[in-house]
Amino acid sequence: MDDRVATLNPNPQPTPIPKSKWSKPMPSVLVIDDDRAILALTEKALSTIADVETAATAKEGLEKLRAGAFDTVLLDIQLPDQNGLAVYCEIREYDRRIPVVFMTVEAASSTAIEAMQLGAFDYIGKPLSVEPLRDLIEKAIEQRQISSVPVAISADDKSPGESGELFIGRSPAMLSVFKAIGKVSKQDVPILIRGESGTGKELVARALYQYSHRSDEIFLAVNCAALPDNLLESELFGHEKGAFTGAESRRIGKFEQCNGGTLFLDEIGDMAPSVQAKVLRVLQEQRFERVGGNKELTTDVRIIAATNRPLEQMVADGDYREDLLYRLNGVTIELPPLRERLSDVPALVQFFMAQAKKEFNKPDLEGLSPEAAELFEGYHWPGNVRQLRAVIRRCVLDTVMPVITPDGLPKEITRIKAVDNAPGGAPASPETLDGAGLPQLVKRLLAEKSTDVYAEATQYMEKYVITEVLKSTGGNQSQAAEILGITRGKLRDRITTFDISLTSNVQIG
């Protein structure tokens, strides 16, 4: 280890990486309400996540909107000089991609519901509570960033400009991906993006949207794995009042809200059969019903879907509808894992290094030493580009030297040569697979300055839980799936992913 580093930092503690959730330094939010107390409250509540501008009338709000560049508008439903819906229509006219969140007095006023049918982002009831407000506005800002930060496709060194993102790739595999994006973005057909986690599927979705004929229309994203099945159905298709316990008013779903626009369905492999059937119908006929409703609604939405799941295998296991796979699979863009295109690593390193140097204000940092660069190009990157980006950010933040040497790299990268260089193979974990190993694992990962603590700890827990349940069923996978509350296909998927051996881990046979 380098002496100077040791002297400067004898007991290295991982330094928290500042959140750089947004591509711009600080997003901006416009709040329009005639109640001064609400303006003061929202300004204070949102000041940690955004620059907040306020306006007390519709006129003032619309003037400010046109003069500034806002990422979200928080709008009172009833203003002294104009009705909220009319104001919404003017905002929409100006830029229909700015998310608008309504503040309502009744739980769900008919105006708010009408506005959502026209594409408003959401509504929130008064009196406002700080946490839910902040969460909702964060979601709205994220939506705005996803749809409006330009994704520049680059096979060379061109800069993305001040606020854009660069989609890097020079390998033949990535050049084919770029070609495919160019070819299909203007065709109004559903597209399925496939690839492991962290390979850039969301970037492809955003590029497809931005180069499409619908680029001035709304773009909404739904992560199908993030919601339980019944909530996902209601999120996508909406529900009627009284459709289920807790459905106190009508709710507009994403398919209705996104009419005319593009809907990005992330993790489309993680949908219950009932939701799969409804999505298939929208794909075939552009028709659906709200949950608990019998009125047939039509929508004109372009679907871009993404998954990292083995859909063909899931069809074979009876966990996924073949007709839905067939519909989705018409146009597919396949993103190869980073280990299969290691020639992209130098350009990615250069790009993320430049970003991190700027962000952490380290203009004198020269880059990676040749030995460190070689390790980067020899590593198998199980977390793909997301992991590479996180490692670079961590290294840039932590280094006190002008050049990053192997000593400054996380152990999983330097260890790899000695431990396991097999493509896709995860480095061996010294912790035993009993629940007690978790604190030990987290401690080790922190000491190693890992940039993948969440994924590694979650995998450890998942592997532990699945192994224990399999033990309890004597290796019977159907029973185990039932007890775990997951499908057999998902269980099989996990057994393969975590390399759970029924003989050595579960001790069957």
Ligand X SMILES: Nc1ncnc2c1ncn2[C@@H]1O[C@H](COP(=O)(O)OP(=O)(O)OP(=O)(O)O)[C@@H](O)[C@H]1O
Nearest residue to ligand X, by Cβ distance, number only: 200
Cβ of residue 338: shortest distance to ligand X, in angstroms?
Answer: 8
Cα distance between residue 404 and residue 413, in whole Å: 13
Surface-to-core class of residue 216, CB atoms within 10 Å of its CB (0-12 exposed, 13-18 middle, 19+ buried) = exposed
Give the position of tokens 């046979």: 509
Closest distance of CB 198 from ligand X, Å: 5
* 477 burial level (CB within 10 Å; 0-12, 13-18, 19+): middle
**Pattern 409-448, ligand X, x by CB under 6 A:** ----------------------------------------
Applying CB under 6 A, the span of 71-79, 231-239, 383-391, 471-479 interacting with ligand X comes to 383-391
Annotate 339-371 with DSSP letters as a single string: GG-GGGHHHHHHHHHHHHHHHTT-TT--EE-HH
Rank residues 113 and 268 by Cβ distance to ligand X and give the closer one: 268
Tell me if 29 sits within 8 A of 46, measured CB to CB: yes
74 binds ligand X (CB under 6 A): no
Which of 355/505 has CB closer to ligand X? 355
Candidates 101, 108, 137, 203; binder of ligand X (CB under 6 A) is: 203
- Please identify, using beta-carbon distances, which residue of 170 and 444 lies nearer to ligand X: 170
Q: Applying CB under 6 A, which of residues 42, 148, 171, 199 lies at the interface with ligand X?
A: 199
Query: Which whole-number Å values give the CA distances from 295 to 118, 239, 301, 347, in the listed order?
Result: 18, 11, 18, 53
DSSP codes of every residue in 417-478: HHH--STTPPPPP-S-SSTTHHHHHHHHHHHTT-S-HHHHHHHHHHHHHHHHHHHHTTT-HH
Tokens for 290? 């709200």
d(CA 369, CA 279): 50
- Among candidates 260, 305, 295, which has minimal Cα distance to 119? 260
* Least distance to ligand X, CB of residue 24, Å: 15
Exactly one of 250, 302, 309, 386 binds ligand X (CB under 6 A); which one? 386
Among 232, 258, 385, 491, the residue binding ligand X under the rule CB under 6 A is 385
Which of 27, 99, 190, 198 binds ligand X (CB under 6 A)? It is 198
Q: State which residue, 82 or 313, has the beta carbon closest to ligand X.
A: 313
Footprint (CB under 6 A) of ligand X, residues 262-281: 266
Determine whether 504 is exposed, middle or buried from the number of CB atoms within 10 Å of its CB (0-12, 13-18, 19+).
Answer: exposed
Per CB under 6 A, which of residues 270..329 are in contact with ligand X? 308
Q: Binding residue for ligand X (CB under 6 A) from 251, 380, 389, 393?
A: 389
Kindly state whether residue 494 participates in binding ligand X, applying the rule CB under 6 A. no
Q: State which residue, 118 or 328, has the beta carbon closest to ligand X.
A: 328
Residues 6+ apart with CB under 8 A from 438: 431, 457, 460, 461, 464
SS3 assignment, position 499: coil
Number of residues that bind ligand X (CB under 6 A): 18
**Nearer of residues 170 and 281 to ligand X, judged by Cβ:** 170
Q: Smallest distance from the beta carbon of 494 to ligand X, in angstroms?
A: 16
Q: Which of 195, 269, 408, 427 binds ligand X (CB under 6 A)?
A: 195
Closer residue to ligand X, CB minimum distance, 167 or 381:
167
List, in sequence order, every residue forming a beta bridge with 154; answer none if it has no partner.
168
Question: Phi, psi at residue 287, to the nearest 5°?
Answer: -125, 150
Q: Which is nearer to ligand X, 61 or 198 (CB)?
A: 198
**Residue whose CB is less far from ligand X, 385 or 413:** 385
Among positions 155-184, residues that touch ligand X (CB under 6 A) are: 165-169
- By beta-carbon proximity to ligand X, the closer residue of 177 and 480 is 177
Min dist. Cβ of residue 329 to ligand X (A): 18
Q: What is the DSSP string of 119-171?
A: T--EEEESSP-HHHHHHHHHHHHHHHHHHHS-EEEESS-----SS-EEEE--S
Interhelix angle 130-148/36-46, rounded to 10 degrees, is: 70
Q: Is 23 in the site for ligand X (CB under 6 A)?
A: no
- Please tell me whether residue 148 binds ligand X under the rule CB under 6 A: no
Cα torsion 392, 394, 396, 400 to 10°: value is -140
**Residue 451 in contact with ligand X, rule: CB under 6 A:** no
Sites of contact with ligand X (CB under 6 A): 165-169, 195, 197-203, 266, 308, 385-386, 389
